[in-house]
Amino acid sequence: MNFEVSIRPDEGYYCGGTFLFYFQVSPTYPHEAPKVKCKTKVYHPNIDLEGNVCLNILREDWKPLLNINTVIYGLYHLFTEPNYEDPVNHDAAAVLRDTPKMYESNVRRATYGGYVGQTYFQRCI
């Protein structure tokens, strides 16, 4: 089973943006976590530029008790509380940790369509 989910945070750095995620659910679900990729290029410590998502419940903390709604809530939470302590985008994590105001500026530039460093982001807000 494959499907897409849009996440639209209503608070935090990413408020007002729309972020598309692609889910692949294997036949062994719920014993295996779904595979999730972000289809929207985003400046985020927990999502790299290829769309790989670092969310503990998609890896070591997955349990068959969890479900798709739990994953969607976890993704939403990444946008309201980005976590620089468990990054896949180490540059974004360092900026968030060391200079939150610059991180906020970079997120704004990326979500409104523009460059952060050498990387171009399409508008998603």
Write out the catalytic residue numbers: 54
Query: What CA–CA distance (Å, rounded) separates 98 from 84?
Result: 10
Taking alpha carbons only, the member of 55, 54, 89, 87 closest to residue 70 is: 55
Contacts of residue 101, Cβ cutoff 8 Å, sequence gap at least 6:
none
CA 24 to chain CA centroid, Å, is 16
Query: What CA–CA distance (Å, rounded) separates 110 from 119?
Result: 9
Cis peptide before 100 (omega within 30 of 0): no
φ, ψ at 67 (rounded to 5°): -140, -175
